[in-house]
Amino acid sequence: MSNTDPPSPPGSTPVQPAPVAPLTLAVMPDASRDLESDVASRRTEIETRLRVLESDSGSNAAQERARLAARLSELAHLIKVNVVDGWANVGSMGKARLASWLAK
């Protein structure tokens, strides 16, 4: 109890203030933040793999580059359609589509 609180009547228990949750910088729900970070991580992996394959001139490398570029294009479309008002506002269908993309 601080010095500015009025004294409690005899025989009563002092009222404790409710605990206050610490402030966090993130305003998105954990699920949206996790989906966003998972998508960003996978996109980075694909982009890194594409940079590595740029120096390879083999036909297998060309096919892999085309496949990875198609995956990035698909992701860009999914984000454009489903992440309109930010990651915190992605609907259940959008989350399912993005999760499906991650599972491939």
For residue 3, tell me if it sits in a domain. Answer: no
Label residue 63 by pLDDT band (50, 70, 90). Answer: very high
For residue 94, tell me if it sits in a domain. Answer: yes
Assigned token pair, 93: 């269908």
For residue 76, tell me if it sits in a domain. Answer: yes
Q: Which long-range contacts (CB under 8 A, 24 or more apart) does 65-70 make?
A: none
Which 3 state secondary structure label does DSSP give 96? helix
Domain of 62, in residue numbers: 36-103
Average pLDDT over residues 77-88: 94
For residue 6, tell me if it sits in a domain. Answer: no
For residue 29, tell me if it sits in a domain. Answer: no
For residue 67, tell me if it sits in a domain. Answer: yes
pLDDT score of 39: 96
Total number of domains constituting the chain: 1
Average pLDDT over residues 51-80: 93
Assigned token pair, 69: 């570029």
For residue 1, tell me if it sits in a domain. Answer: no
pLDDT score of 28: 44
For residue 66, tell me if it sits in a domain. Answer: yes
The Cα–Cα gap between 43 and 57 comes to 23
